[in-house]
Amino acid sequence: MLSRSVIDTLLSSGISGGIVAVIVIVTTLIVTAIGVGVTIVLIRRDYAKKVGSAKEASDKIVEDGKLEAKTLRKEALQEAKDEQRRMRNEFERESKERRGEIQKSEQRVLQRDELLNKKEGLLDKKMDSADEFRKTLDEKEKEIVKSAEDVKESQSKILVELERVAGMTTDQAKEQLIEGLLVSVRKDAGVMAKEIEQNAKEEAEKKAKNIIGAAIQKCAADHAAEVTVSVVALPSDEMKGRLIGRVGRNIRALENATGIDLIIDDTPDVVTLSGFDPMRREIAKQTIERLVSDGRIHPARIEETVEKVRRELDVQIKETGENATFDANVHGVHPEIIKLLGRLKFRTSYGQNVLNHSLEVSYLAGIIAAELGADVKIAKRAGLLHDIGKAVDHETEGTHIQIGVDLAKKYKEHRAVIHAIEAHHGDVEAETLEAVIVQAADAISGARPGARRESLENYVKRLEKLEHLANSFAGVEQSYAIQAGREIRVIVKPEQVDDSSTIFLAKEIAEKVESELEYPGQIKISVIRETRSVEFAK
């Protein structure tokens, strides 16, 4: 493009404006073309430089790729060689193991062949021995036949000699022997008839035992074992001093309020309550437990607690009596009788809880009455109330039977129930079947093993003595007393006692038991001999 001064010079030189304009345009185009050409040149040069750089970069990338490809090829070759080496080692190891197994199999086959050869040799020897044994057997059989003929000939000679010595023929001897046997059989028949008659007499007793056994089997009751003392546990010995109180005022207040003696000795963490009245002992026990739990122990608090415990115990006694009548299925009982039944919970007799004993007698009497066709309701009611007098026998004079009869009459019990209470210890003659049943149920409950401490000790000693007596015989391996001591099973050693000897052994044991032991009823002796042969299939 032309400058302003050049254009003015051209105009001043006489050149027209159109020509100047053309010159300017031409000049501008030329300059523009030159600029475009220069630009193109510069662009080509720059492009050539970039192409060269790209070519160098691509060449470098190609070289790097070749190097990397070469490296990868080497690594692939190395991995292939390693894999080939590993597979060759694995193949060699498996081949070696298979060769070892094949060798072991060959050895086993060889051993079996050797064993078969040995067995064939032994079999041949046994066959030879069997042939020799068969020959020996044939010879012995001939000898036996000859001996049998000699024995027959000797028997004939002996029989002739016996007939000569005895002075009678064989038929006459047979007749005499039969006559003797007939006498013996008649005697045995008489003894057998007597035994049958005796068994018939004992059948009624056996049935009675079955009924009683079934009743005992259906009935079970727990028993407490408290006597005349109760024990209260304390959290610490320090509480003993608080129970005694200053100059003994607390212990005096307790004894006066409850009527029970408190024994505080060196026994750690306990206080003993002594008294014949179980109700008073229970009141004193609950009072001390509450005082110890509360922590406030003084005479006023003691009297308040005793009264509260007495009221609560009255409620508990009534509930206990109601539960007892419900459990025994006895209804329509006077409320005062119900209270007396509840008091029996705290009464014991020979270590046996009287309420539990009464319930058990009620159950047993009901079962026996049902078996014998008696009045079940009367029997159960009389069984529940038979010891009702023991609830107040510490407070009223007289035996518990007389007290119980008076109470039953006072509260309008049935005449049959009153008679059963009166007759349950045999003080009066039993006139009804229900009275006899209550009497038997009371004896069963009181005398059965485990019901009372003293009977249990005697029962265990008798069983031990019975087993010890059976074990004292030669050939006895072990003995077991069962059925509450009414049967003993004796197991003998089969190598020392044969089947025929078991009969005599049972008789000897029975005779020794009869002579040395005292026991109710009878004891069955069962001698058992068992032989076992054991072998294992391989």
- HEC-encoded secondary structure of 120-188: HHHHHHHHHHHHHHHHHHHHHHHHHHHHHHHHHHHHHHHHHHHHHHHCCCHHHHHHHHHHHHHHHHHHH
* pTM of the shown model: 0.44
Last residue of a domain, one of 416, 447, 478: 447
321: domain CATH number is 3.30.1370.10
Last residue of a domain, one of 413, 447, 481: 447
Instruction: State the Cα–Cα distance between residues 505 and 497, nearest whole angstrom.
Output: 9
Of 396, 401, 442, 441, nearest to 418 by C-alpha is 401
Q: Give the pLDDT of residue 221.
A: 44
Whether the CB-CB separation of 431 and 419 falls below 8 Å is answered with yes
341 and 468, same domain (yes or no): no
| Neighbour count for residue 10 (Cβ, 10 Å) | 17
Q: Give the pLDDT of residue 210.
A: 63
201 and 135, same domain (yes or no): no
From residue 418, alpha-carbon distances to 87, 345, 460, 531 in Å are: 107, 22, 37, 61
Instruction: State the Cα–Cα distance between residues 207 and 189, nearest whole angstrom.
Output: 27
Whether the CB-CB separation of 226 and 454 falls below 8 Å is answered with no
- Look at residue 224 and tell me if it is in a domain: no
Residues 304-350: tens digit of each pLDDT? 888 888 888 888 888 888 888 888 888 888 989 888 888 888 887 76
340 and 420, same domain (yes or no): yes
31 and 159, same domain (yes or no): yes
Q: Which domain holds residue 405?
A: 229-447
Across the strands, what pairs with 148? none
- Report, as an integer, the average pLDDT of 393-415: 86
Residues 168-178: tens digit of each pLDDT? 677 777 777 77
- Look at residue 491 and tell me if it is in a domain: yes
Helix axes 354-372, 433-447, angle to 10 degrees: 130
Q: Give the pLDDT of residue 214.
A: 57
Whether the CB-CB separation of 244 and 229 falls below 8 Å is answered with no
Residues 375-393: tens digit of each pLDDT? 989 999 988 888 888 888 7
Main-chain phi, psi angles of 251, to 5 degrees: -70, -35
Q: Give the pLDDT of residue 260.
A: 82
Q: How many domains does the chain have?
A: 4
268 and 377, same domain (yes or no): yes
Instruction: State the Cα–Cα distance between residues 243 and 255, nearest whole angstrom.
Output: 11
Q: Is the pLDDT of residue 279 over 60?
A: yes
Across the strands, what pairs with 231? 272
Q: Give the pLDDT of residue 456.
A: 56
Mean pLDDT of all residues in the chain?
79
263 and 410, same domain (yes or no): yes
Q: Give the pLDDT of residue 222.
A: 42
511 and 414, same domain (yes or no): no
- Look at residue 348 and tell me if it is in a domain: yes
From residue 376, alpha-carbon distances to 25, 205, 210, 357 in Å are: 151, 22, 19, 18
Residues 198-256: tens digit of each pLDDT? 676 667 666 666 665 555 555 544 433 345 567 777 887 778 788 888 888 888 888 88
- Look at residue 72 and tell me if it is in a domain: yes
521: domain CATH number is 3.30.300.30
- Look at residue 223 and tell me if it is in a domain: no
Rounded to 5°, angle at Cα 183 from 182 and 186: 85
Percent of the chain exceeding pLDDT 70 equals: 82
Tell me which DSSP letter residue 484 carries: G
Only one residue has tokens 């006559």, namely 179
- Look at residue 248 and tell me if it is in a domain: yes
pLDDT confidence bin for 59, thresholds 50/70/90: confident
Only one residue has tokens 């109700």, namely 279
From residue 181, alpha-carbon distances to 166, 171, 175 in Å are: 19, 15, 10
212 and 118, same domain (yes or no): no
Percent of the chain exceeding pLDDT 90 equals: 2
**Dihedral sign for Cα atoms in the order 187, 189, 195, 197:** negative
Q: Is the pLDDT of residue 267 over 70?
A: yes
Last residue of a domain, one of 415, 447, 479: 447
Pairing, β 348-349 against β 352-353: antiparallel
Instruction: State the Cα–Cα distance between residues 479 and 471, nearest whole angstrom.
Output: 6
54 and 149, same domain (yes or no): yes
Q: Is the pLDDT of residue 2 over 70?
A: no
- Look at residue 195 and tell me if it is in a domain: yes
Tokens of 476: 């006895």
394 and 511, same domain (yes or no): no
- Look at residue 452 and tell me if it is in a domain: no
pLDDT confidence bin for 490, thresholds 50/70/90: very high
Residues 91-149: tens digit of each pLDDT? 888 888 888 888 888 888 888 888 888 887 787 777 777 778 788 878 878 888 887 78
Lowest mean pLDDT among 154-168, 247-261, 430-444: 154-168
Q: Which amino acid is at 287?
A: T
323 and 266, same domain (yes or no): yes
Main-chain phi, psi angles of 412, to 5 degrees: 60, 45
Whether the CB-CB separation of 290 and 305 falls below 8 Å is answered with yes
Tokens of 444: 């069963």
Pairing, β 487-492 against β 476-482: antiparallel
365 and 244, same domain (yes or no): yes
- HEC-encoded secondary structure of 340-352: HHHHHHHCEECCE
